[in-house]
Amino acid sequence: MKRSLDTPTGTVTLSEEGGALVALEWGGGFEDSSDLLREAERQIAAYFAGELRAFELSVSVRGSQFQQDVCAVMGQIPYGETVTYGEIAKQLGVPAQAVGQACGGNPLPLIIPCHRVLGAQGLGGFSGGVGVETKVWLLKHEGAAGLLI
């Protein structure tokens, strides 16, 4: 099932399989509905309204164990805070470049907050929306952009 919704960063589409969210992609055109998709839509609207700081949704990260591990660490980064690819790499005992690639493969950007992960010397990339501009918008929204801009 897929459901699209409008956000300040563009239209996003949520995908649900087996009772869990499995993807969030920018783009739209889907109108399926389920309890989980409606709840995800409610929580995303509350996030953008400044009323929600942590998503409480059933998610399933499809991918390698490494991808799942990186997503689990990213999921613990608090609203309005940032960490570097290197900090995650040190925690997992892997190269920072591998963490950057896993962040780029995050199937649920926004819900699993890869926008809160920065390079040692700058923003790093972002796979959602229009790329780094969307990352900057999300960081500003959370009040985390002061150190960057």
The question of whether 71 is a catalytic residue gets the answer no
**Interhelix angle 65-74/96-104, nearest 10 degrees:** 90
- Please spell the DSSP secondary structure of 77-131, one letter per residue: SPTT--EEHHHHHHHHTS-HHHHHHHHHT-SSBTTB-GGGEEBTTB-----STTT
Pairing outcome for strands 117-118 and 83-84: parallel
Active-site residue identified among 114, 138, 139, 144: 114
What is the rounded distance in angstroms from the CA atom of residue 10 to the CA atom of residue 83? Answer: 25
Residues 103 and 145 sit within 8 Å (Cβ to Cβ): no
The three-class DSSP label of residue 65 is: helix
Q: Annotated catalytic sites, by residue? A: 114
